Structure 1
Amino acid sequence: MNTDPNPDPFEPESKERLRLWLRLLKTTRLVEAELRERLRLEFATTLPRFDVMAALHRHPKGLKMSELSRFLMVSNGNVTGIVDRLAEDGFALREQVPGDRRAARARLTQKGKEEFIRQAEAHEAWLDAMLAEIGPDIASDLSTALARISDKFED
């Protein structure tokens, strides 16, 4: 007979999943903060700006601003400001979409592609060093498990 006046209503599995979630969140925040700092110090740029350049690099023909904001899961206003600053720096072009006066498409310039590659190489090396404690098999298993979870939300 359980005499505990405050019995624990949670199953051990759910507690472990909660601990996992909190650890994922903490680790993500720590790694992201480190990436932000390194991008700022080494390239005088921001993580959102890097993310926009990465998205445009993956889509060489460019993306409509609305597509870019959906792809990055941020507001159109955030994307517009970043693309405008990238254009001012010569890293991106913002062009009208033929047949749609209200829509604009953004794409990287050659200068932007070259700068992104420089930043992406450093970014990859930083992440590789930060995650060096995790072997390739564990990294693959974690990636597969996290993909299964994220796929549930993307359907």
Structure 2
Amino acid sequence: MIDLKKDKFIKASLAGVFSAFTIGILTLITYKTELGLFLAASFGSSMVLLYGFPESPFAQPKNIFFGHLLTAFVGVVFVNFIQLPIFMIIPAAVGFGIFLMIMLDVVHPPAGGNPIMVIIGSASFDYLFSPIITGTVIILFFGVILNRYILKKNYPQQK
């Protein structure tokens, strides 16, 4: 008989350790090198999907990469080109980002918060490269290594 509590404990432990490791690498690169910013708040919730539920369609590399990139891009466009008060621009950007993720089949729920961060921080297009592109590439690198090669999971899932 399978001990479900033990399996859940192991799954949760591995997800926690791998999440801390991945975010730790991004933090180390951000604060101990001159390479730039590699952290976005939404990356923390990406860890929940990537390591806790890698079988989810929302945790697949295409969704993680393009979901983050698309919604951060929407935030940058809105904050730099749409002249509305912040209480209007934030919900409009979040809604449009979610609309695009669904339409383009790259839904990654944690990315839904990116326009908020981008607009509050008045980010420029540089934000798309660092931390969004560079950070998600590093996240996906560790996600594939740990899920596929260490845990022997079917990640990324093949359609």
Category of TM-score, reference length = shorter chain:
0.3 to 0.5
TM, length-normalised to structure 2: 0.42
More strand by share: 1
TM, length-normalised to structure 1: 0.43
Q: Which has the higher contact order (CA 8 A, sep 6+)?
A: 2
